[in-house]
């Protein structure tokens, strides 16, 4: 009987989702096994490394700005982990403040940080519009217009740090600028950073505000 040769192409194990430390890429060793299973049959089994330098994640969020962090925190509250890729070396906390109306506060309450922020920023009661010579053109109180209105200016840095502070350690991977994004053959999304590192994700959400 003629000898047969079989090659097996196995997908290598990848990093476990979410809990892996960033920037760690395990190296998997290629192995070439040659086994002779019987006197008449010789089998070459090649285990090749398939995408072994690709990290695997369930959900990747691009951009650790307000939208990206708030989304990650919302998912976290639901028990869903995610990895945020941020191009900067740390949170971009510059800027002044954002004035948030009641819809914004509803969102902050829903993700569990509303009261933490209310304690730090006073409620703005009303608004007065004046002419150049100081005459009052219009004056009103927000609650006169809408009893449920809530209007506060929140320092951008505090907002970002509050979101990030509620996320698990290493939820944000800094110095990670996304360069390329494409659908891989198995319907997952392949993300490539400018440093060449690659991540396969089941779901990707972009909040890069470009």
Interacting residue ranges for ligand FAD, rule: CB under 6 A: 62-68, 85-88, 92, 94-96, 98, 156, 177-178, 207-210
Nearer to ligand FAD, 85 or 113 (CB): 85
Tokens of 30: 């290629």
Phi and psi at 151, nearest 5°, equal -140, 110
Phi and psi at 10, nearest 5°, equal -105, 140
Residues 6+ apart with CB under 8 A from 173: 22, 23, 83, 84, 85, 86
Nearer to ligand FAD, 144 or 195 (CB): 195
- β 189-193/178-183 pair status: antiparallel
Nearer to ligand FAD, 47 or 88 (CB): 88
Q: Residue 34 CB, nearest distance to ligand FAD (Å)?
A: 45
Tokens of 121: 């920023």
101 touches 151 (CB < 8 A): yes
- Nearest position to ligand FAD, beta carbon: 65
Q: How far is CA 131 from CA 122, 134, 137, 142, in A?
A: 26, 5, 6, 20
Nearer to ligand FAD, 105 or 207 (CB): 207
Q: Residue 164 CB, nearest distance to ligand FAD (Å)?
A: 11
Nearer to ligand FAD, 114 or 206 (CB): 206
Tokens of 172: 């944000």
Q: Residue 15 CB, nearest distance to ligand FAD (Å)?
A: 20
Q: Residue 69 CB, nearest distance to ligand FAD (Å)?
A: 7
Q: Residue 118 CB, nearest distance to ligand FAD (Å)?
A: 19
């Amino acid at each position: 009987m003629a000898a047969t040769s079989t090659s097996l192409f196995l997908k290598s194990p990848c990093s476990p989702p979410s809990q892996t430390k960033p920037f760690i890429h395990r190296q998997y060793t290629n192995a070439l096994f040659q086994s002779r299973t019987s006197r008449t049959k010789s089998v070459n089994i090649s285990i090749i490394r398939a995408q072994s330098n690709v990290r695997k994640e369930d959900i990747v969020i691009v951009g650790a700005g307000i939208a990206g962090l708030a989304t990650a925190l919302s998912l976290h509250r639901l028990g869903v982990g995610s990895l945020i890729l941020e191009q900067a070396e740390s949170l971009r906390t510059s800027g002044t403040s954002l004035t948030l109306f009641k819809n914004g506060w509803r969102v902050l309450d829903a993700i569990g940080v509303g009261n933490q922020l209310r304690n730090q920023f006073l409620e703005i009661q009303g608004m007065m519009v004046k002419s150049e010579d100081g005459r009052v053109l219009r004056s009103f109180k927000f609650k006169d217009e809408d009893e449920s209105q809530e209007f506060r200016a929140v320092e951008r840095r505090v907002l970002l740090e509050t979101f990030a502070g509620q996320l698990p350690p290493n939820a944000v991977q800094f110095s990670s600028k996304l360069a390329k994004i494409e659908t891989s053959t198995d319907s997952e999304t392949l993300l490539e950073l400018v440093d060449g590192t690659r991540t396969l994700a089941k779901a990707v959400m972009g909040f890069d505000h470009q």
